[in-house]
Structure 1
Amino acid sequence: MSAIALYARASEGFEARVAQAVERLRDAAVEHAGRIVQATSLGAEDMVITDLIARHALPIAIGTLETGKLHAETSALIDRIEQHYGLAVEVYRPKNEAVIEFVRTNGEEAMYRSLALRKGCCGIRKLEPLSRMLAERGAWITGLRREQSDARGEVPFRDHDDAGRLKLNALADWSWADVWHYIERHQVPYNPLHDQFMPSIGCAPCTRAIAVGEPFRAGRWWWEDETAKECGLHVHQEAAVVSAIGAPQ
């Protein structure tokens, strides 16, 4: 069964949520003209945002992180976006020497051995490339939604990261059904892994399918405690430090 058949449902207020998302994107594009980027993970939510940017001809750059550990199906979406929408995608990769040294020291499967090593891998493959994506930007756009997890339950539409940049969570109030209803209506390209019960898709070693009844992000870092399931991209620095060293006694 496809993800569209499984999840897409029309719901009350959908049209208003779409219009409000477009308004948020347009306002941010004006406010940060030439200095705003969508940091897309290439997941379903982010594909909706890319479609909104293209459909409304919004002057917002599109960037993604090619970590070197993505599924082939995820990487393939970069070309699909460029071909489908005629938009260029900025691709940021980890520094090769840092990856080589990390793997030489800790092995290819270091992420399974400890939380510190997993976060070290995320730091090299995701956080450092993201810092380059955002270096000259005043704002960035994410696909975070409140429904995704308890940790994201109070995600605001507008936030600021540790560098003071605007962080726009344009779909914060959308449901999973909203996302797929939009994808179905507008024939948005999406990752076929979503059809294999992977609602949240990250690097291949750190993603699995979820079972019926499991939380949305249960397939991400499934061997870790639920409270640790963030890579650091969406954690303020103080919270990231506490997470890495443990809560105060």
Structure 2
Amino acid sequence: MFSKTMLTPPMAASVSFDLDALNQRFEGAHPRDILAWAVTEIPQGLVQTSAFNVDDMVITDLLYRDLRPNPPVPVLFLDTLHHFAETLAFVQQAKEKYSLDLRTYKIPDVDSREAFAARYGDKLWETNVEQFHHLTKIEPLQRGLAELHTVAWITGRRRDQALTRANMPYVELDKEGRLKINPLAAWTRKQTWAYVMEHGVIYNPLHDRGYASIGDEPLTTPIAEGEDERAGRWRGMGKTECGIHI
């Protein structure tokens, strides 16, 4: 059960959902229907977390072009200071196209890749990747979710992206008792791109250069034909997740 005691924000005090029932209800549902449920049942404290990958853009398009809740759902973006230049330019493009309520969070004590290296060491992702992700992603995310009084957050994850996600539910609880909603859980990569083509959704140009999943520049490579979609992330490190979704 998604119970009252699991939610810390004041506006969530009267919210209670049966997760098993919801996951059964959403099996086979279109992501739009899942998002429509979310914006209706959680009018306050709903947040989309986005790395502005193609799956994230499908969700943004559904929220901002199709459903258009008022007020709009905030989009939380983590500026790790190590993104591709193309990613940062695309974030700005998407913000302007959709008039996003964009909320950007980053490590608080440095403001550039060079300053990060000076403070925490050169190529920290090679010497201590767990600390690197904690500093650039995990702590800023948790701070952002708390400051936005998040009751539920929306992700762009799919079950077919990796074996670690194969049994991912549509709705679950994070460690803080917030609801985590995965509207694209049952979709395939093919379905995502079919939606993009049908609706003219803009996407990061790096996808056209072989980057199926786009993260930090030092830790992301293109994939070869036949490789797993996330094979280009942390190549050779034996990692499949940065820690946000563990």
Q: TM-score range by the shorter chain?
A: 0.7 to 0.9
Among 230, 241, 244, the alignment partner of 1:217 is 230
Offset at residue 150 of structure 1 (A): 0.4
Paired amino acid for 1:107: G
1:124 and 2:135 matched: yes
* Structure 1: segments with no counterpart, 5+ residues: 1-15, 236-249
Query: What's the counterpart of residue 12 of structure 2?
Result: none
Partner of 1:245: none
**Equivalent residue number for residue 16 of structure 2:** none
Give the C-alpha shift of residue 88 in structure 1.
Answer: 2.4
Aligned to 1:25: 35
- How much has 1:104 moved relative to structure 2? 3.7
Query: 1:7-39 deviations in whole A, cap 9, x for unaligned?
Result: xxxxxxxxx999621121121122222201000
- Residue 192 to residue 18, structure 1, CA distance change in 2 (3 Å): farther
Q: Deviations over 1:181-238 (max 9, x none)?
A: 111111111000000111111000000011112111110000211xx32111100xxx
Q: 1:92 corresponds to which letter in structure 2?
A: Y
Structure 1: distance between partners of 2:114 and 2:136: 11
| C-alpha contact 2:28 2:186 (8 A) present in aligned 1 | no
Q: Secondary structure at the match of 2:38?
A: helix
The separation in 2 between residues aligned to 1:191 and 1:18, in whole angstroms, is: 28
CA drift at 1:76: 1.3
Provide the C-alpha distance between the structure 1 equivalents of 2:106 and 2:120, rounded to a whole number of angstroms.
Answer: 20
Give the RMSD, CA atoms, in angstroms: 2.1
2:47 aligned with 1:47? no
d(CA) in 1 for partners of 2:222, 2:129: 19
Question: Distance in 2 between the 1:216 and 1:202 partners?
Answer: 13
1:80 and 2:93 aligned: yes
23, 26, 46: which one pairs with 1:36? 46
Question: What is the TM-score of this pair, normalised by structure 1?
Answer: 0.81
Change (3 A) 1:224 1:81: same
Paired residue secondary structure (2:77):
strand
Aligned counterpart in structure 1 of residue 210 of structure 2, from 197, 204, 207: 197
Q: 1:181 to 1:18 in 2, by over 3 A?
A: farther
- Do the aligned residues in 2 keep the contact of 1:62 with 1:90 (CA within 8 Å)? yes
Task: Name the residue aligned to 2:105.
Answer: 92
Are the aligned partners of 1:65 and 1:126 in contact in 2 as well (CA < 8 Å)?
Answer: yes
Report the 3-state secondary structure (helix = DSSP H, G, I; strand = E; otherwise coil) of the residue aligned with 1:231: coil
Q: Does the 8 Å contact 1:78/1:89 carry over to 2? A: no
Which deviates the most, 73-82 or 133-142? 73-82
Distance 2:119 2:92 in 1: 33
Q: Determine what percentage of the aligned residue pairs are the same residue.
A: 37
Q: Secondary structure in 2 aligned to 1:189?
A: coil
- AA aligned to 1:130 is L
The amino acid that maps onto 1:139 is A
Matched residue pairs, number?
Answer: 215
